[in-house]
C-alpha cells in the first residue's frame, strides 16, 4: 500500500530530506555577521557572512534564508583567504504552499479524504489532478469529474523542486576541504526607508525643535538579526527602478540640543548614514530609528501671495477683478551650524505642531523636502492663512503696438489678525518688461518674477499698485 502525506510539518521534513540531498545546507545558524545598506528606491545591498563546510572538489551550497526579493544576477560569493571557483548559481523561489503543491501535482494521483459528520469515519478515494487553473482544482475520481470537491487533499510526497524558504544554490569547486568563512553579497528589493521630521513650534513662532526619524520597512521575506545598518540618501540610477514601498509615520518629542542619532558621511555622490549599534529588522515590520534632534532652530514665518493680480500671465487681455485668495503660510529654515542644524537632511516629510493655550499640541501643516545639503534653505508650505486675504484687479489696459502692452494693477490685502504682518506679493511677468509705476519698490527675483514686501496693519488693509510695460 502506498503511503500518503498531508500538508503540514511532515511535508516540510520530507522536503528537507529530498531537496537537500547532495546539497550542503548553509542556514542562518551558520551566520557570523550581516550588514544591510538600504537605498531610497526599493533597493538594498545585503552582505551576509557565514561559515560553510567544503569538500575538496565540487560542492553544492544551499544558502537558506536569503531575501525573497534577491536579484540573483547580482549575487557574489567570496571566500576569505580561500579561492572559490564558482561554476553555477540558482535561485529557487518556487516555495512550498498548498497552491504550489497542487500545481506540481497536475497529472499525478493524490487522495481525497472525506469525514462523515455523523460517524466521524474517514473514507478515501484516489483522484487524478487534471487542472488547477483560476484557483480551482479539477479532479478525476473514478468515472466522474469533480471541481473543488469537499474533503482533505492528501499527497504521497513533496516535489523536490519546491522549497520551504527562498534558497540560493551555488555550485563551486574548492581546492581544499574544511570550514571556510565566506561572504555572500547581493542586491535585493523589499527593503526601503524614508525620513520623517517632527517640528514643535515655539509659542512666539520664532524657533522650533526638530526631530528626525528614519522609517524602515522590511518586506523582503526574511528577518535580519543584529544587522549592521546603513542608509544611503541620494538618487542611485537603476535600469528598471521599482516603485517605493509604503511606510508608516509616527510623532515623537524633542529631547535635547542638536544631536545626530546616526552618523553621516559622504559616499561617492551620496550621503551614507550609519546606525551606531546593530538592529534587528523583522520580516514584514516597520521600524523607526532616531536620525537627529535639534532645539531652538530659528525659523522665519512668511505670508506669500502669488499671481493675485493677473491670472496665468494674461497680460495681452483685459482681466478685471480676481477672486479673493488666502495667503500661503510658509516657514523658512536655514540648514547651517548657526541654526543648530548644518546636517545633510535626506528627503522626507516635515510635520509641524504647535501647542495651544492649554498646552495641547495641534497639527499646523506639513510639507515634503528634497535631499537638502548643509547650508541650503528649507522652504515649507504649511497651508493658507485664514485671516490674511487678497484680491487683485486690473485697473487699466492699453495696447501700445502689436507686441507692446501697458497694464496697471491693484492688489488689496486685508489682515484680520490683531498684530501687523508683512506679506510677500509675487507676480509673474512675461516677455521683456519694465516697471513704470509702483506704490512699493519691487525686487526682480528673476527674469519673469517681480516681488514686493507689503506691510499690512493689524485688523487693517494695505494696497499695492503698479504699472508695467510688456514687450513680447
Furthest-apart CA pair in the chain: how many Å?
Answer: 104
Q: Which three cell numbers stand for residue 299?
A: 525659523
Instruction: Please measure the distance between the N-terminal and C-terminal CA atoms of the chain and give it in whole angstroms.
Output: 94
Which residue, 98, 45, 51, is CA-closest to 67? 45
CATH number for the domain spanning 309: value is 2.60.40
The answer to whether residues 308 and 447 belong to one domain is: yes
pLDDT tens digits for 373-394?
Answer: 889 999 999 999 999 999 998 8
In a domain, 449, yes or no: yes
The answer to whether residues 200 and 282 belong to one domain is: yes
How far is residue 357's CA from residue 414's CA, in Å, rounded to a whole number?
A: 26
pLDDT at 5 over 50: no
Strand partners of residue 5 = 155
DSSP 141-186: ETTEEEES-SSEEEBS---TT-BSS-EEEEEEEESS-EEEEEEEEE
Note whether 289 and 191 are within 8 A (CB). no
In a domain, 228, yes or no: yes
pTM, two decimals, is 0.67
**What local confidence, expressed as pLDDT, does residue 458 receive?**
97
Most confident of 273-287, 308-322, 330-344: 330-344
How far is residue 100's CA from residue 102's CA, in Å, rounded to a whole number?
A: 5
Strand partners of residue 357 = none
pLDDT tens digits for 395-442?
Answer: 888 888 988 989 899 999 999 999 999 999 999 988 899 999 999 999
pLDDT at 360 over 50: yes
The answer to whether residues 134 and 56 belong to one domain is: no
In a domain, 349, yes or no: no
Domain count, the chain: 4
Q: Which three cell numbers stand for residue 10?
A: 511532515
How far is residue 419's CA from residue 421's CA, in Å, rounded to a whole number?
A: 7
Beta-carbon-side half-sphere exposure of residue 20 (alpha carbons within 13 Å): 16
Strand partners of residue 450 = 427, 444
pLDDT at 68 over 70: yes
The answer to whether residues 33 and 130 belong to one domain is: no
pLDDT tens digits for 144-170?
Answer: 998 988 889 998 887 766 777 778 888
In a domain, 118, yes or no: yes
- Phi and psi at residue 299, in whole multiples of 5°? -130, 155
The answer to whether residues 269 and 130 belong to one domain is: no
pLDDT at 365 over 90: yes
The answer to whether residues 241 and 327 belong to one domain is: no
pLDDT at 18 over 50: no
Residue 145's domain comprises 106-154
In a domain, 76, yes or no: yes
The answer to whether residues 16 and 76 belong to one domain is: yes
In a domain, 352, yes or no: no
Task: Quote the DSSP letter at residue 234.
Answer: S
How far is residue 295's CA from residue 199's CA, in Å, rounded to a whole number?
A: 10
The answer to whether residues 400 and 315 belong to one domain is: yes
Q: Are strands 76-79 and 152-154 parallel, antiparallel or unpaired?
A: unpaired
The answer to whether residues 283 and 209 belong to one domain is: yes
pLDDT tens digits for 222-272?
Answer: 999 999 999 888 666 655 544 444 433 333 333 333 344 555 555 445 678
The answer to whether residues 173 and 196 belong to one domain is: no
Which residue, 190, 173, 174, 160, is CA-closest to 92? 160
In the predicted model, what is the mean pLDDT of the chain?
84
Note whether 77 and 182 are within 8 A (CB). yes
In a domain, 461, yes or no: yes
Using the 3D structure, point to which of 170, 188, 206 is the last residue of a domain. Answer: 188
How far is residue 396's CA from residue 271's CA, in Å, rounded to a whole number?
A: 54
The answer to whether residues 69 and 208 belong to one domain is: no
Average pLDDT of span 323-350: 92
Average pLDDT of span 67-93: 83
In a domain, 340, yes or no: no
- How confident is residue 332, by pLDDT bands cut at 50, 70 and 90? very high
The answer to whether residues 67 and 171 belong to one domain is: yes
Amino acid at each position: 500500500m502506498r503511503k500518503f502525506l498531508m500538508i503540514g510539518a511532515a511535508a516540510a521534513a520530507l522536503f528537507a530530506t529530498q531537496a537537500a540531498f547532495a546539497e550542503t545546507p548553509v542556514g542562518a545558524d551558520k551566520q557570523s555577521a550581516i550588514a544591510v545598506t538600504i537605498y531610497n528606491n526599493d533597493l538594498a545591498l545585503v552582505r551576509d557572512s557565514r561559515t560553510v563546510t567544503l569538500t575538496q572538489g565540487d560542492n553544492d551550497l544551499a544558502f537558506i534564508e536569503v531575501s525573497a526579493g534577491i536579484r540573483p544576477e547580482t549575487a557574489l560569493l567570496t571566500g576569505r583567504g580561500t579561492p572559490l571557483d564558482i561554476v553555477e548559481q540558482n535561485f529557487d523561489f518556487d516555495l512550498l504552499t498548498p497552491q504550489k503543491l497542487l500545481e506540481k501535482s497536475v497529472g499525478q494521483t493524490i487522495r481525497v479524504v472525506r469525514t462523515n459528520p455523523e460517524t466521524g469515519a474517514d473514507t478515501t478515494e484516489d483522484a487524478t489532478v487534471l487542472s488547477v487553473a483560476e484557483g480551482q482544482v479539477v479532479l478525476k475520481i473514478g468515472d466522474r469529474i469533480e471541481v473543488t470537491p469537499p474533503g482533505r487533499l492528501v499527497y504521497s510526497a513533496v516535489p523536490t523542486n519546491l522549497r520551504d524558504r527562498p534558497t540560493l544554490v551555488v555550485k563551486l569547486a574548492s581546492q581544499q576541504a574544511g570550514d571556510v568563512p565566506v561572504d555572500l553579497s547581493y542586491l535585493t528589493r523589499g527593503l526601503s526607508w524614508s525620513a520623517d521630521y517632527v517640528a514643535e513650534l515655539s509659542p512666539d513662532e520664532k524657533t522650533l525643535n526638530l526631530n528626525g526619524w528614519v522609517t524602515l520597512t522590511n518586506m523582503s521575506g526574511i528577518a535580519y538579526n543584529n544587522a549592521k545598518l546603513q542608509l544611503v540618501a541620494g538618487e542611485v540610477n537603476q535600469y528598471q527602478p521599482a516603485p517605493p514601498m509604503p511606510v508608516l509615520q509616527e510623532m515623537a518629542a524633542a529631547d535635547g540640543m542638536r544631536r545626530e542619532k546616526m552618523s553621516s558621511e559622504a559616499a561617492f555622490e551620496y550621503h551614507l548614514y550609519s546606525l551606531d549599534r546593530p538592529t534587528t529588522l523583522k520580516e514584514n515590520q516597520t521600524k523607526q530609528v532616531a536620525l537627529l534632534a535639534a532645539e531652538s532652530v530659528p525659523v522665519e514665518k512668511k505670508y506669500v501671495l502669488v499671481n493675485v493680480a493677473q491670472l496665468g500671465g494674461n497680460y495681452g487681455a483685459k482681466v478685471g477683478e480676481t477672486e479673493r485668495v488666502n495667503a500661503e503660510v510658509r516657514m523658512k529654515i536655514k540648514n547651517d551650524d548657526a541654526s543648530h542644524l548644518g546636517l545633510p537632511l535626506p528627503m522626507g516629510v516635515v510635520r509641524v505642531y504647535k501647542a495651544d493655550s492649554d498646552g495641547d499640541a495641534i497639527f499646523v501643516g506639513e510639507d515634503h523636502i528634497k535631499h537638502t545639503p548643509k547650508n541650503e534653505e528649507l522652504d515649507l508650505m504649511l497651508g493658507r492663512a485664514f485671516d490674511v486675504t487678497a484680491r487683485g484687479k486690473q485697473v487699466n489696459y492699453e495696447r501700445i503696438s502689436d507686441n507692446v502692452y501697458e497694464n496697471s494693477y491693484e492688489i488689496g490685502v486685508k489682515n484680520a489678525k490683531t498684530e501687523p504682518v508683512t506679506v510677500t506679493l509675487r507676480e509673474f511677468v512675461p516677455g521683456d518688461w519694465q516697471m513704470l509705476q509702483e506704490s512699493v519698490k519691487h525686487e526682480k527675483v528673476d527674469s519673469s518674477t517681480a516681488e514686493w514686501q507689503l506691510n499690512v496693519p493689524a485688523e487693517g488693509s494695505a494696497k499695492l499698485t503698479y504699472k508695467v510695460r510688456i514687450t513680447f
